[in-house]
């Protein structure tokens, strides 16, 4: 029998020689490669708007939207410095556009969602149609669509950008190009996509050409009304309160193929049952205040704060006032791949 010390030396020597062939022994990393349950390398984090807003406004004195192309402060997971990721698959940032500014037209294969945090009256244009945005609206710029933004209002406008940048990077499937002019030509009157697709009706001969939703603004007024009516219709879910997912009316799936988006109402005094799921999720607080325990970390939050819940971290949400939370994650991707799991009760 070879002595353990001799064996260890022999193994080390073997690994070194093996490494020169760009090979490695599986048995040294098997447990990390196939963990018994998710072991996220990122953590819960919270960005309070009171702390963030002064920096956003200061950025507005340092660079124009035109020079920056997009004037955005990235929400980066503190456990992934330099990555521009909020989770390993998602990017998030807060974008500022000041009165009179234009963010020039471009397109890329990364899909983007906007969730309006502060202000109203700025527009985003997607493939030739503009929509005026208001607080709480959820707006999409699907993969490879031309988009530019402008603020014709008299106040700063701030929104949350969510993009599938890390996911697209993993596939090495990223393409981008700039528009020929700063603002794309308007080819359809405002409200066209809403009229065609957003009333439980679809144009009779229209066939969807892609997975993404033909609706590009899901206004808060309508979402809020639905949540309010839900509270009258029955009891809250123990884990979610009253929670709805945004939907592509043409196929019942998520409006963006790579990102699921959700809105939930937590009644005043509601304390959720512990819950975990495999989709790391970014939250934007739309109304109210409360606190969330995520694993061992507790964050107090209020309107306009943002926080991230990692995969498989047990979350418990408590609402001091009636509260509304917007969230997004990579859930549709995990579901398509038969990977998504949840655990109600948190065990």
Nearest distance from residue 16's CB to ligand 1HN, in Å?
41
Q: Is 72 in the site for ligand 1HN (CB under 6 A)?
A: yes
**Residues comprising the chain, all counted:** 347
E-only strand ranges, 134-259: 138-141, 147-151, 157-163, 176-178, 217-218, 242-245
Quote the least distance from Cβ 47 to ligand 1HN, whole Å: 16
Q: What is the rounded distance in angstroms from the CA atom of residue 184 to the CA atom of residue 127?
A: 8
Q: Is 70 in the site for ligand 1HN (CB under 6 A)?
A: yes
Alpha-carbon Rg for the chain in angstroms? 23
Answer for the pair 137, 220: CB distance below 8 angstroms, yes or no.
yes
Region near ligand 1HN per CB under 6 A, out of 10-18, 44-52, 159-167, 280-288: 159-167
CB closer to ligand 1HN out of 163 and 286: 163
Among residues 147, 276, 304, 306, which is the contact residue for ligand 1HN, using CB under 6 A? 147
The residue count for binding ligand 1HN (CB under 6 A) is 10
Site string for ligand 1HN, 76-105 (x = CB under 6 A): -----------------x-x-------x--
- Helices within the chain (DSSP H only): 4-19, 30-33, 49-62, 65-68, 165-171, 192-197, 220-233, 331-336
State the minimum distance, in angstroms, from the CB of residue 135 to ligand 1HN.
Answer: 17
Least distance to ligand 1HN from the beta carbon of 84, Å? 8
Q: Which residue has the tokens 């760009």?
A: 22
Judge whether 68 and 119 are in contact, CB under 8 Å. no
CB-nearer residue toward ligand 1HN: 45 or 103: 103
Give least dist CB 103 to ligand 1HN, A. 6
Closest contact distance (angstroms) between CB of 165 and ligand 1HN is: 6
Give me the long-range contacts of 343-347 (CB less than 8 A, separation at least 24): 343/275, 343/276, 343/277, 343/312, 343/314, 344/238, 344/239, 344/273, 344/275, 345/273, 345/274, 345/275, 346/273, 346/274, 346/275, 346/276, 346/314, 346/316, 347/274
Contact flag: residue 304 with ligand 1HN (CB under 6 A): no
Residue linked to tokens 């030509």: 185
Q: How far is the CB of 219 from ligand 1HN (least distance, A)?
A: 19
Nearer to ligand 1HN, 103 or 158 (CB): 103
**Choice from 65, 90, 112, 158 touching ligand 1HN (CB under 6 A):** 112
Q: Which of 163, 266, 277, 333 binds ligand 1HN (CB under 6 A)?
A: 163
**Is 122 in contact with 132 (CB distance < 8 Å)?**
yes
| Contact residue for ligand 1HN among 76, 137, 161, 330 (CB under 6 A) | 161
Question: Could you tell me the smallest distance in angstroms from the CB atom of residue 71 to ligand 1HN?
Answer: 9
Q: Which residues of the shown chain bind ligand 1HN in the complex (CB under 6 A)?
A: 70, 72, 93, 95, 103, 112, 147, 161, 163, 165
């Amino acid at each position: 029998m070879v002595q353990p010390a001799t064996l260890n030396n022999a193994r080390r020597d073997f690994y070194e020689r093996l490494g020169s062939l760009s090979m490695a022994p599986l048995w040294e990393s098997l447990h990390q490669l196939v963990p018994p349950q998710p072991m996220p390398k990122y953590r819960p984090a919270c960005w309070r708007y009171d702390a963030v807003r002064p920096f956003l406004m200061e950025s507005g004195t340092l660079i124009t939207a035109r020079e920056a192309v997009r004037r955005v402060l990235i929400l980066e997971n503190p456990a992934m410095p330099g990555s521009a990721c909020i989770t390993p698959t998602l990017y998030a940032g807060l974008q500022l556009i000041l009165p009179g500014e234009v963010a020039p037209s471009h397109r890329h294969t990364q899909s983007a969602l906007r969730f309006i945090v502060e202000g109203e009256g700025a527009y985003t244009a997607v493939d030739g149609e503009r929509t005026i945005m208001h607080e709480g609206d959820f707006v999409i710029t699907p993969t490879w669509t031309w988009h530019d933004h402008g603020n014709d209002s008299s106040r700063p406008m701030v929104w949350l950008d969510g993009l599938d940048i890390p996911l697209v990077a993993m596939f090495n499937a990223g393409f981008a190009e700039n528009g020929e002019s700063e603002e794309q030509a308007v080819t359809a009157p405002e409200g066209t996509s809403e009229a065609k697709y957003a009333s439980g009706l679809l144009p009779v001969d229209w066939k969807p050409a892609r997975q993404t939703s033909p609706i590009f603004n899901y206004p808060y007024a309508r979402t809020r009304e639905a949540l309010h009516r839900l509270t009258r219709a029955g009891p809250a879910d123990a884990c979610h309160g009253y929670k709805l997912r945004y939907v592509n009316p043409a196929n019942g799936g998520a409006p963006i193929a790579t990102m699921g988006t959700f809105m939930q109402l937590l009644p005043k005094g509601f304390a959720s049952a512990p819950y975990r799921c495999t989709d790391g999720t970014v939250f934007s607080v739309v109304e109210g205040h409360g606190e969330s325990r995520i694993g061992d970390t507790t964050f107090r939050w209020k309107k306009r704060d943002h926080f991230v819940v990692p995969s498989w971290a047990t979350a418990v949400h408590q609402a001091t006032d009636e509260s509304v939370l917007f969230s997004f994650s990579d859930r549709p991707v995990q579901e398509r791949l038969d990977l998504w799991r949840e655990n109600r009760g948190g065990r």
